[in-house]
Chains A and B, each alone.
Chain A
Amino acid sequence: MQLGLLEGIKSGDTVLRTSGITKRFPGVVANDRIDFEIRAGEIHAILGENGAGKTTLMNILFGLLQPDEGQIYIGGHEVRLRSPLDAIDLGIGMVHQHRKLVSAHSAIENIILGHPRARGILDLKRAEEEVEKLCDKYGFRVDLGARVWQLTEGQKQAVEILKTLYRGAKVLILDEPTSALTPPETESLLASIQAMATDELGIVPFITHKLPIVLAISHRVTVLRRGRVVACLDTECATEKSLAREMVGRDVIFRIKRTEVEEGKPILEARNLSALSDKGLMALSGASFTVREGEILGVAGISGNGQHELAEVLAGLRKARGGTVLFDGQDITDSSILERWQMGIGYIPADRVGVGTIADFSLVENMAMSYQFDDDFCHRGILDYNRVRQLTQEVIAEYDISTPGPLIKAKNLSGGNLQKLILARVLTRKPRLVIACLPTQGLDVGATEFVRNKLMELKAAKTGILLISEDLDEVLSLSDRVAPIYEGAFMGILPAGQARREKVGAMMAGIRVEEQEQL
């Protein structure tokens, strides 16, 4: 243990500093002479679009990657971080975006996993007492005896944070800390982060897009663009607009220009639709709604309230347990996904990497996912790769997908480009109905703007759109009608004009319109 380097650090002292960090990968400079510093008691957000070099920097700070040039100083001493073990020993803790916990073990067992004291005979009781003190101090509410699989995303994250704190971390690196959390969970996390900062911990959240959070909690912000530090400023001097400009390199419009389209005939009608979740529990119970041509129906809800199952039932990936689905007046409740594609239903899945694309396929082959069943692209069982390739090339230009070429594997694309590819693949089929699931989740500002504008164009072309999103602002700014979903049931469907933020927020929490009026 070399924690000595950070002993006796007072608020305001520099705990970690990098100087001229450079990291090259074939073809790109991921980090270009990055100078960065974090003080004790400070929350220093790092902001940047996908591909700006955040992940690389984070991995360097945590010892997962070694810089080609540059130095890292901890408590004023130059250090070399050869592995995460070095980083942990020096007091750097990291909480990844994707949870790294053993789900069959209890929270406390996960917390002491890998702790130097957890060798041989475990003293769970003592550990539990100590961790509880940490919980009280920073306001984490976690049942330490509960198995990890029983915990919510927010609690799992608290477990990860506690784990690093228990190992004596003085610098806490958080990767996209709020990306998987519900609004109340986010609030309590932010409160805990602030409590930790007053305790002389240096906290570095890496955030791509949630600018309001950066403004709310951080003291300083460093903005990265294309591997370089383009700004480092006190948060007080920053606004959402100025930060976005630094990130993207141009002004970004936050308000989407809505197109008003005359309402057409109903294209999708669901009556009393219900479905089970993967675990066999009732996830969707009795949803009835209509989507018209040229209309965006926005389903707003916190993750896990049945919207995922709803999308899959409509796409044909999940069996409906009850109810009927009509498409253009025709009963499609039992139609396969293939038949639905051919009818003109396009599905943009929430899971871009696992469902929407195939990582080891080239962009051309990924494009073929929606064309392999199309007889125009397939003659006597032979797939017309040339034609798909041509289409892919057109799409790369039209959708501004940044890639060296159409034969690059999808795993080399960033999240935003991947989403553009999926969008292009679905939209080039000229669907009459699009089910868009979390279309902008995890995307940077530029890509989000692009996707939202595309949805608007689609609407103008008289396509019916079912937009499922966990981002309330997105639903409110895009939808013609808003359907808040709670525990598998719609809490009502409001026209955009009546969908005030507070009202919809309350409905997402399970309070129906009538009940609200009584209050």
Chain B
Amino acid sequence: MRLGKVELKLEKRQSLAGWQAAAISILAIVFALALFSLIFIIARINPLLAYREIFSYAFANPYGLPLALNRFIFLLLCTCAFIVPYRAGLWNIGMTGQLYLGALGAFAVLFAFGGKDSQTAILPAGLVIPCMLAAAAAGGALLGAVAGLLKGKLGTNEIVVTMMLNFVASWFVAHMIKEGGLFMNPGGRGESFELPPSVYAPLMKDVPFTGLVALGIAALLYFLFAKTRFGYQIKAHGLSPAAARYAGISAVGIPVLVFALGGAVAGLAGYHYFAAVPGVYKIARNYGYFGDLAFYGVICGLISLGNPLAAIPVALLFGGLSIGGRYVQGKLHIGFGVDYALLGVLMISLVAFQFFYRYRFSCAKVGEKTTCGSLSPEV
């Protein structure tokens, strides 16, 4: 393409450094926000005002910030749950079901300790909370391992299996918490019994400790992929199952292990939302809403290209925007769902900009053969 005296050429990239990927993503976000401001303008709203409200509520408001952080923790866990199988070339679409089973696992521990019978019971938090975490992870891992085993042994499509298991888990939750269910609320409101306050998750400045757990998991996964033998085996299987098998890496073991590990992390997301977020402390009637939210783990995982550290800012942005978007919608009396619309535009923009992970523009003065410089988004 020619622009005056400069010829613009599309070139294939030879390599992509981490900071380049980050810069491209930031450009994509700016682009998405610019694009979405058109929608605000059509709705006769000042986009600058709207964005100020969104960001200040999500990241600077004493009421909004904890909400945004809780959502961020949830999304980060779901993203990590997606990333582990993704690095092995497998798609986990079953975070929803895995987190449900994780939540049920956590509540089963409460049930066993008598947490259902009395709201005022003083349970030994130092024992019960670790048990709840372990049971949540085990529940998620169990459901994940089913998909992994079917994949490894029979070659069943893991996307279909995890997706279908979501329904199984969803109805299982309903069975447990609705009328007559083992975990039903004594008041029978179609939700589970509530946590006794003695085993509420410890808070650090209004944020549950699960935040540290999520950040720790992201860091550990990064280490897993960068340094360990198991991480190497996962990556090898992901890039070429035939070559991995040739290298002596089990073609059954890897799918089972990555899905169990991913499922365990998703199970912790279930613990986080239903047993650690202040103000919830039960498997709520609208649990399906959180299940749907888990799908953003897929999006965040793809945007961060399977890098668990890159997932942290991505999940933070998505968590914040979904909270801020919902808030601004009420505040400015907007007639449509700003949160999902904004996330949708952002998602499309980020995915579209991944084109520049593989290509870049370079410009050359017409008549000269050497590349004289480069134009954004070559960064």
- A: residues with CB less than 8 A from B are 26, 68, 315, 317, 336-338, 341, 347, 349, 351, 354-361, 365, 368-370, 372-373, 378, 381-383, 385
Contacts and interface: CB of A to CB of B under 8 A. Distances in A.
A164 B247 CA distance: 41
A336 B245 CA distance: 10
B236 A26 contact: no
Nearest to B233: A372
A361 to B, nearest CB: 6
A369 B14 contact: no
Residue of A26, A373, A383 contacting most chain B CB atoms (<10 Å): A383
B239 A361 contact: yes
B247 A354 contact: no
Given A336-B248, A341-B248, A357 B229 contact: no
With a 10 A CB-CB cut-off, give which of B14, B228, B243, B369 has the most chain A CB atoms. B243
Nearest to B231: A383
A335 B247 CA distance: 14
Contacts of B369: 68
B230 A381 contact: yes
Given A369-B243, A382-B229, A338 B236 contact: no
13 contacts: A317-B246, A337-B246, A354-B243, A356-B243, A361-B236, A372-B233, A372-B248, A372-B249, A373-B248, A382-B227, A382-B229, A383-B231, A385-B227
Contacts of A382: 227-229
A383 B369 CA distance: 46
Contact of A355 (B232, B233, B243, B250): B243
Name, among A336, A347, A354, A358, the residue most crowded by chain B CB atoms within 10 Å (CB to CB): A358
A372 B232 contact: yes
Q: Which residue, B228, B244, B246, has most C-beta atoms of chain A within 10 A?
A: B246
A353 to B, nearest CB: 9
A383 B233 CA distance: 10
Nearest to B224: A381
A357 B236 CA distance: 10
Given A358-B239, A382-B228, A369 B246 contact: yes
A511 to B, nearest CB: 35
B242 interface: yes
A26 B14 contact: yes
A461 to B, nearest CB: 23
Contacts of B229: 372, 378, 381-383
A355 B245 CA distance: 8
Contacts of B244: 358
A359 B240 contact: yes
Contact of B232 (A315, A347, A368): A368
A360 B227 contact: no
A381 B228 contact: yes
B246 A372 contact: no
B247 A372 contact: yes
Contacts of A341: 248
A383 B243 contact: no
B173 to A, nearest CB: 36
Nearest to A409: B15
A347 B246 contact: yes
A117 to B, nearest CB: 34
A354 B242 contact: yes
B240 A358 contact: yes
Contacts of A347: 246
